[in-house]
C-alpha cells in the first residue's frame, strides 16, 4: 500500500510551539509549569485540530489535576471530544494496516508506552503517516514529529479496547 502523510498540527502537553512552558496556578496560587500528565489531551487536540480549529472541550477537571487519564476515562474523553474507538487490526499495527486506517479515519490517537526514556509510562501520541518501514507520529511531550518502525508502534500499544481513537465523522 502506498505511503501516506497527514498534515496534523503539533500540540504540546507542557510547552507551547514557541517552547515556552504552559503555566497554571498551583494549589498555593504560584504559577507553575503544567501538563506533565496531559499527553491524552494534547493528542486529542491534535486529532481534532486536523479537522477544525479549537477550542476543545476536553475533561477540564482531569486536565487541571494534571495526574493523567485513567483507562476508564478514555471513553469520557471520546464522548467529550467527538472521538470513537477503532479496533486494533487482527494483523496488528503494520505499515499497511496503519496506512489503511489513516486513509479511512484520519489521524489516530494511540495509547501506549511511547514516552522516550520512560519505557513503562503510559503515553498518548497521534499516528500521522506511513513512510515504509516507518510510522510517523506526533509526540506531545516535546512536542515533536517523530518516526519509528511499525513493529515498535505495534509492540508498545496498550492492550485495552479503547487504545485507538479517531474523529467520529458523524459528530462535530
Query: In DSSP terms, which residues pair with 84 in a beta bridge?
Result: 166
pLDDT of residue 172: 62
pLDDT of residue 17: 72
- Please report, for the domain that includes residue 105, its CATH number: 3.90.70.10
- Whether 122 is covered by a domain: the verdict is yes
CA atoms within 13 A on the CB side of 49: 19
**Could you report the average pLDDT of every consecutive run of 10 residues in the chain (172 residues)?**
92 85 84 83 92 73 72 86 94 96 98 90 96 97 96 95 92 69
90-123 residue pLDDT tens: 999 999 999 999 999 999 999 999 998 888 889 9
pLDDT of residue 55: 65
pLDDT of residue 129: 99
pLDDT of residue 60: 64
- Whether 172 is covered by a domain: the verdict is no
pLDDT of residue 1: 65
Residues spanned by the domain of 80: 4-167
pLDDT of residue 113: 94
- Whether 152 is covered by a domain: the verdict is yes
- Whether 35 is covered by a domain: the verdict is yes
CA atoms within 13 A on the CB side of 89: 13
Amino acid at each position: 500500500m502506498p505511503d501516506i502523510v497527514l498534515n496534523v498540527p503539533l500540540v504540546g502537553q507542557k510547552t507551547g510551539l514557541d517552547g515556552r512552558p504552559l503555566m497554571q496556578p498551583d494549589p498555593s496560587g504560584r504559577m507553575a509549569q503544567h501538563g506533565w500528565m496531559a499527553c491524552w489531551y494534547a493528542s486529542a487536540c491534535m486529532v481534532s485540530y486536523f479537522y477544525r480549529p479549537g477550542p476543545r472541550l476536553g475533561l477540564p477537571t482531569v486536565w487541571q489535576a494534571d495526574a493523567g487519564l485513567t483507562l476508564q476515562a478514555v471513553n469520557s474523553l471520546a464522548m467529550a471530544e467527538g472521538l470513537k474507538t477503532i479496533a486494533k487490526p487482527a494483523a496488528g499495527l503494520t505499515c499497511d494496516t496503519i496506512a489503511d486506517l489513516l486513509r479511512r479515519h484520519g489521524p489516530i490517537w494511540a495509547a501506549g508506552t511511547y514516552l522516550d526514556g520512560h519505557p513503562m509510562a503510559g503515553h498518548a501520541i497521534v499516528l500521522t503517516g506511513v513512510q515504509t518501514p516507518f510510522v510517523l507520529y506526533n509526540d506531545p511531550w516535546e512536542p515533536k514529529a517523530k518516526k519509528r518502525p511499525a513493529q515498535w508502534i505495534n509492540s508498545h500499544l496498550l492492550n485495552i479496547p479503547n487504545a485507538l481513537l479517531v474523529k467520529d465523522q458523524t459528530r462535530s
